Amino acid sequence: MGIERTYEEINHKIRSGKAVILTAEEVLDLIAGEGAAGAAKKVDVVTTGTFGPMCSSGVFLNFGHPKPRIKMSEVYLNGVPAYAGIAAVDVYLGATALPPGDPRNRNHPGEFRYGGGHVIEELVAGEEIRLEAHSYGTDCYPLKKIETAFRLSEINEAVLYNPRNAYQNYNVAVNLGQKTIYTYMGILKPNLGNANYSSAGQLSPLLNDPLLKTIGMGTRIFLGGGVGYVTWHGTQHNPSVERGENGVPKTPAGTLAVAGDLKQMQRRWLRGLSMLGYGVTLQVGLGIPIPILNEEIMSYCAVRDEEIFAPVVDYSRVYPYREAGNLGLVSYAELRSGAVTIKNRQVPTASLSSYAGAREIARTLKEWISAGKFTLTRPAAPLPSVEAGIQLQALPQRNPDEGGF
Amino acid sequence: MAIKQKLVFRFPPSVVEQPFIYRLVRDFDLMVNILRADINPDKEGRLMLELSGSEPDYRRAIEWLKQQGVRILNLKQQITWNEDRCTHCGACSVICPSGALELSRPAMTVTFDESKCIVCELCLKACPARAMKTLLEQAR
Ligand code: SF4
Ligand code: SF4
């Protein structure tokens, strides 16, 4: 019989300062020496991390009411529009929102110097933010316009709520075309000039728990330098893809929706980014602790970059036009070495997500747990995994005027 | 004593047309390796080059250029890397043609070696975190 542990036992050890915690990178040496069974006996928690651009991110804000009150229907934060179609002084500011006057891609490739992601970064940093809000006025909310400024500490709530983060594996983007293209996967030079990837591989949260046996609704996590929670499965969550023997998906698969109080997060782990020719986004730092409940859970954490494969996809034609097929699979060990072989050619690689950042997040989470500041949570409900049989849909394209009945 | 220097010449609009390179070669016996030339939005000419030759010739040439109204700067300080903004993603490493921006392994952190930089400025917009800046931008 191998080792079995409960969440309660692990938390008890954390509180008494006796828990053994390693990062998903550190644990690899131990497993190499003692096997998953031996390592499972010694280690209580494995910490993971990832720090990459995550477009499906944003913040819910509640400003509190001015005097007189206002029902905000059009809102700008430092000139960037926020969604105001909810209650009177509540908005959602998305990471990719752009000021109405931004030239976009009119002069291609557009620079996208400032947008939602940058406002979120400045909010977290405690900088002053300009607020402009318009309204039509009602008997209960008479004010029609307000221009003011505020800092994060001066508003009621600011909740980072990201509908899709922490992608489990991702495409490797290349360009088979004849001219440079500008994508959300960075600048892709023509004729297989470079191959860009974006996953922390062996450190990535969902690649260390590929079948979602421990990560679920309510799992407490590192989010943006503070504490957050998994709130749902992420949008486009797609667990039913092809997997290797180790359970690791060979294409983009699971995703997480996460939330946390922005007021305790840090600028260092929430960064506004400008993707040339594409738009603005937010680089999010996220880390998840994995409770080593038994040997099986440890065997998933044993996954190495050599054993995680990602599909190489052409972004000049195949990706944008939804054509089928990829250019084969490459491992994260190859990707991280600086070059991969594609179509018998050596292609230089670059990452959009920061491996150094992922490593630091996993270490920070380890320190928090070691210090007894952060305990683990048993999920309130599991997330849908392989057995849920989810099929990703494409948008129907039909004439909306021809009734379906 | 031989000398080899990477420099940036900035020419005011009034002198842009003069054959400086020809004079450097003919009158000062210097070898000139042009790295890049452009005219910035303020109509100021900019030439990035490597000069090599004997030290006395080099000194005389610099003196003469200054008299002509050419501003001379060290190429090294033209591009700055704001380490605080850098997230060490590594996206710049496949864009930088000179190897000035490189990902070191296994640390997986990016380093900037300004002595290798040829001031092509490709990194300025390629860096999503906008951690790379020109001296010009910083001054503004
Ligand atoms: S692209 Fe920018 S943020 Fe990324 S490593 Fe290079 S300098 Fe740093
Ligand atoms: S200016 Fe050009 S050579 Fe210098 S660091 Fe940037 S990309 Fe590299």
Q: Which helix (H) or strand (E) holds A226?
A: strand A226-233
Q: How many CB atoms are closer than 10 A to CB A400?
A: 8
Give the global pTM. Answer: 0.93
Are A354 and B107 an interchain contact pair (Cβ–Cβ within 8 Å)? no
Mean pLDDT of chain B: 89
As a whole number of angstroms, the distance between CA A115 and CA A127 comes to 15
Question: Ligand 2, from B35, B82, B120: best to mutate by most atoms within 8 Å of Cβ?
Answer: B120
User: How many Cβ atoms sit within 10 Å of the Cβ of residue A70?
Assistant: 22
What topology does CATH give the domain B79-139? Alpha-Beta Plaits (3.30.70)
Q: Fold identical between B2-76 and B79-139?
A: yes
Burial class (CB in 10 A: 0-12, 13-18, 19+), A392: exposed
Mean pLDDT, to the nearest integer, of A153-169?
98
Encode pLDDT of A63-96 as tens digits.
999 999 999 999 999 999 999 999 999 999 999 9
Q: Is A339 on the interface with B (CB under 8 A)?
A: no
Give Cβ neighbours of residue A129 (< 8 Å, ≥ 6 apart). A77, A78, A119, A122, A123, A149, A150, A151
Domain ranges for chain B: 2-76, 79-139
**Tens digits of per-residue pLDDT, B45-90?**
888 898 999 999 999 999 999 998 898 988 877 899 999 999 999 9
Task: Tell whether the model's pLDDT for residue B140 goes beyond 50.
Answer: no
Residue tagged 């500008």 (tokens): A182
Note whether B130 and B121 are within 8 A (CB).
no
Instruction: For Cα atoms A209, A211, A217, give the angle at the middle one, nearest 5 degrees.
Output: 80
DSSP SS3 for B122: helix
- Which of the 8 DSSP states describes residue A236? T
CATH code at B2-76 = 3.30.70.260
Which residue minimizes the CA distance to atom 3 of ligand 1?
B86
User: Which pLDDT does position A380 carry in this prediction?
Assistant: 98
- Closest by CA to A22, choosing from A374, A377, A375, A367, is A367
Calculate mean pLDDT across residues A190-206. Answer: 98
Least confident stretch, A103-107, A351-355, B56-60, B75-79: B75-79
> A354 and B105: CB-CB below 8 Å?
no
| Interface ipTM | 0.94
Q: Say yes or no: A45 contacts chain B, CB-CB below 8 A.
A: no
Query: What is the arithmetic mean of pLDDT over A106-129?
Result: 98
Catalytic annotation, residues of A: 140
Ligand 1 lining (C-beta closer than 6 Å): B 86-92, 101, 110, 127, 129, 131-132
